[in-house]
């Protein structure tokens, strides 16, 4: 496993980091386990003071944290700043609400008294991706630290400076050593961590193949897991949608973070009355994107995060075309240093084409023409994934009806699928299981302990 910062806009290596030795890993596990014995007994107020300080540091030094996100994975600097601000919001949200979310729940049994208490599980292990190098960490760390767990994180190999920055953030905010631990470890070492009896839960955000391996390993050790995986989100446009406003949202839904987002719009499902006009306007908008240095605010087209990601996406596109799909716009690598790709529109995708079922993780929009609402719903649901989706219509009641028919974890009406601290995030099918964020996210790795006080006489 390589932990290396490479600037995606130039292809130049910035910094390389060594993996932990087995001795270093064992020391980190021992420290985390020791930390948990004290952190679990810290009051909500004590934990909240640390979390609130971490959020304040992010806001005070926003550019300091945003810069490595741009330099390591190519995110446009304005988007990087937005991610840092969102990360602070998530941490603050749990600092404010964790105690309420985990308050004892009184039950009403037929006899006696009963209450459900929420207590932490222990040391948790997270495997996190590169596409949102702070936000993904906050979704895992903030609720679990506030619940009294401690966390150890294996971040993606291409964002090591972001990984270290987030670990330093918690130490600077006053978290004890071992509360948040970054691990530069190999895949074999990650397996050892999952096997270790000191680890009591595992959370992964990533791909289906990685989820199969990690969930199977954790399952053999009888450990709770959550899996937040990919998506093939449908962006449904009904006949009564506001065309111009919907196109603007469609472009944002596809091109935000260069399409490298689990809930990016992947499949644009347009009713035939609007299809031609929508496609023309969408293509015109994509033509305005111009590549440049993502550190400059005027840049509209950023690079992809890695050379491997770009090559894989181009190969995926080539396979789709070989099976009958049509590239109507873009489809090529841009001839300049770095890992830039033209925004791309793909049409004529039949069910037998591998592209029909695959997730395109980048600036590739798949277009489908349908006759009506029923066909739109059927096509949207004909997917191995079930993360998010969106429906655009002037009739809100109609939008809600369509939303209820979609087999996904999230549906937005007249807005692309997106995220906020107070909204639950997660999916079904190959998009995984479990929820992050909101009041649901803090419940995943806590023990719901029943405490019953009985007034019944002893049995004779």
**Predicted TM-score of the model (pTM):** 0.97
Q: Is residue 82 part of a domain?
A: yes
**Percent of the chain residues past pLDDT 70, beyond the cut:** 98
Q: Model confidence over 419-448: pLDDT tens digits?
A: 999 999 999 999 999 999 999 999 999 999
CA distance 82 to 217: 35
- Which is the catalytic residue, given 79, 158, 262, 359? 262
Q: Give the model's pLDDT for residue 112.
A: 87
CA distance 236 to 267: 8
Q: Are residues 203 and 349 in the same domain?
A: no
Q: Is residue 421 part of a domain?
A: no
pLDDT bin (cut points 50, 70, 90) of residue 455 is: low
Q: Is residue 333 part of a domain?
A: yes
CA distance 35 to 281: 56
Total structural domains within the chain: 2
Q: Are residues 385 and 251 in the same domain?
A: yes
Q: What is the CATH number of the domain that holds 14?
A: 3.40.605.10
> Does residue 437 contact residue 101 with C-beta atoms inside 8 Å?
no
Q: Which of 306, 374, 298 is nearest to 339 (CA)?
A: 306
Task: Give CA angle at 205 (264, 145), nearest 5°.
Answer: 120
Strands 123-127 and 150-154, sheet pairing: parallel
Q: Is residue 136 part of a domain?
A: yes
pLDDT bin (cut points 50, 70, 90) of residue 284 is: very high
CA distance 266 to 232: 5
Whether 11 shows a pLDDT value over 70: the answer reads yes
Q: Are residues 239 and 216 in the same domain?
A: no
Strands 412-413 and 3-6, sheet pairing: unpaired
Q: Are residues 284 and 363 in the same domain?
A: yes
DSSP 275: H
Give me the domain span that covers residue 100.
3-229+431-451
Q: Are residues 258 and 351 in the same domain?
A: yes
Q: Are residues 321 and 401 in the same domain?
A: yes
- Which is the catalytic residue, given 72, 167, 228, 444? 228
Alpha-carbon dihedral 157, 162, 164, 170, rounded to 10 degrees: -140
DSSP string, 34-84: HHHHHHTTS-HHHHHHHHHHHHHHHHHTHHHHHHHHHHHH---HHHHHHHH
> Does residue 366 contact residue 359 with C-beta atoms inside 8 Å?
no
CA distance 35 to 345: 51
The verdict on whether 228 is a catalytic residue reads yes
> Does residue 390 contact residue 234 with C-beta atoms inside 8 Å?
yes
Break the chain down into helix, strand, coil percent, rounded to 5. Answer: 40, 20, 35
CA distance 182 to 161: 11
pLDDT bin (cut points 50, 70, 90) of residue 460 is: low
CA distance 458 to 460: 6
Whether 454 shows a pLDDT value over 90: the answer reads no
Q: Are residues 301 and 242 in the same domain?
A: yes
Q: Model confidence over 338-351: pLDDT tens digits?
A: 999 999 999 999 99
Q: Give the model's pLDDT for residue 456.
A: 60
Whether 458 shows a pLDDT value over 90: the answer reads no
Q: Are residues 201 and 243 in the same domain?
A: no
Give the residue carrying structure tokens 């890993």: 25
Q: Model confidence over 243-269: pLDDT tens digits?
A: 999 999 999 999 999 999 999 999 999
Q: Is residue 424 part of a domain?
A: no
Q: Are residues 203 and 249 in the same domain?
A: no
The verdict on whether 158 is a catalytic residue reads no
Q: Are residues 394 and 443 in the same domain?
A: no
End-to-end Cα separation, the chain, in angstroms: 64
Q: Which of 129, 137, 132 is nearest to 83 (CA)?
A: 132
Whether 304 shows a pLDDT value over 60: the answer reads yes
Q: Is residue 426 part of a domain?
A: no
Mean pLDDT of 34-54: 98
Q: What is the CATH number of the domain that holds 401?
A: 3.40.309.10
Average pLDDT of the chain, as a whole number: 97
Whether 1 shows a pLDDT value over 70: the answer reads no
Q: Are residues 375 and 446 in the same domain?
A: no
Task: Give CA angle at 163 (157, 166), nearest 5°.
Answer: 170
Q: Model confidence over 69-126: pLDDT tens digits?
A: 999 999 999 999 999 999 999 999 999 999 999 999 999 998 889 999 999 999 999 9
Q: Is residue 329 part of a domain?
A: yes
Mean pLDDT of 206-217: 98
**Percent of the chain residues past pLDDT 90, beyond the cut:** 97
> Does residue 446 contact residue 121 with C-beta atoms inside 8 Å?
yes
Q: Is residue 457 part of a domain?
A: no
Q: Are residues 172 and 274 in the same domain?
A: no
């Amino acid at each position: 496993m390589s932990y290396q910062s490479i600037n995606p806009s130039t292809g130049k290596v910035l910094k390389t980091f060594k993996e932990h030795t087995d001795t270093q890993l064992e020391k980190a596990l021992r420290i985390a386990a020791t930390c948990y014995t004290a952190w679990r007994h810290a009051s909500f107020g004590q934990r909240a003071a640390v979390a609130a300080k971490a959020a304040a540091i992010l806001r005070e030094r926003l550019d300091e944290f945003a810069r490595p996100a741009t330099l390591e994975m190519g995110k446009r600097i304005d988007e990087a700043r937005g991610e840092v601000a969102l990360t602070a919001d998530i941490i603050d949200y749990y600092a404010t609400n964790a105690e309420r979310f985990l308050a004892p729940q009184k039950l009403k049994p037929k006899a006696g008294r009963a209450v459900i208490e929420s207590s932490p599980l222990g040391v948790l292990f997270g495997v996190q991706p590169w596409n949102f190098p702070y936000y993904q960490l906050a979704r895992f760390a903030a609720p679990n630290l506030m619940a009294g767990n401690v966390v150890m994180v294996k971040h993606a190999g291409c964002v090591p400076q972001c990984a270290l920055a987030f670990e330093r953030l918690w130490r600077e905010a006053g978290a004890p050593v071992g509360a948040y631990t970054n691990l530069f470890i190999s895949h074999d070492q990650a397996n050892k961590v999952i096997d270790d009896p000191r680890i009591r839960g595992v959370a992964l955000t990533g791909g289906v193949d990685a989820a199969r391996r990690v969930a199977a390993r954790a399952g053999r050790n009888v450990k709770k897991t959550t899996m937040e995986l990919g998506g093939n989100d449908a962006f449904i446009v009904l006949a009564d949608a506001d065309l111009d406003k919907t196109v603007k949202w469609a472009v944002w839904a596809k091109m935000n973070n260069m399409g490298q987002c689990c809930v990016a719009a992947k499949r644009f499902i347009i009713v035939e009355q609007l299809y031609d006009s929508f496609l023309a306007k969408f293509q015109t908008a994509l033509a305005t994107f111009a590549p440049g240095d993502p550190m400059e605010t005027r840049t509209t087209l950023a690079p992809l995060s890695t050379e491997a990601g770009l090559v894989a996406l181009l190969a995926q596109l080539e396979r789709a075309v070989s099976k009958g799909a049509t590239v109507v716009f873009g489809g090529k690598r841009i001839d300049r240093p770095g890992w830039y790709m033209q925004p791309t529109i793909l049409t004529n995708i039949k069910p037998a084409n591998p592209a029909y079922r695959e997730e395109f993780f980048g600036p590739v929009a798949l277009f489908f023409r349908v006759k009506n609402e029923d066909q739109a719903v059927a096509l949207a649901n004909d997917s191995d994934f079930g993360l998010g989706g969106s429906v655009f219509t002037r009739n809100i009641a109609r939008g809600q009806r369509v939303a209820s028919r979609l087999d996904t974890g999230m549906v937005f009406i007249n807005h692309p699928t997106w995220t906020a601290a107070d909204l639950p995030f997660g999916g079904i099918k190959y998009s995984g299981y479990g929820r992050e964020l909101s009041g649901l996210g803090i419940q995943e790795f806590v023990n719901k302990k029943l405490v019953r006080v009985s007034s019944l006489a002893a049995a004779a």
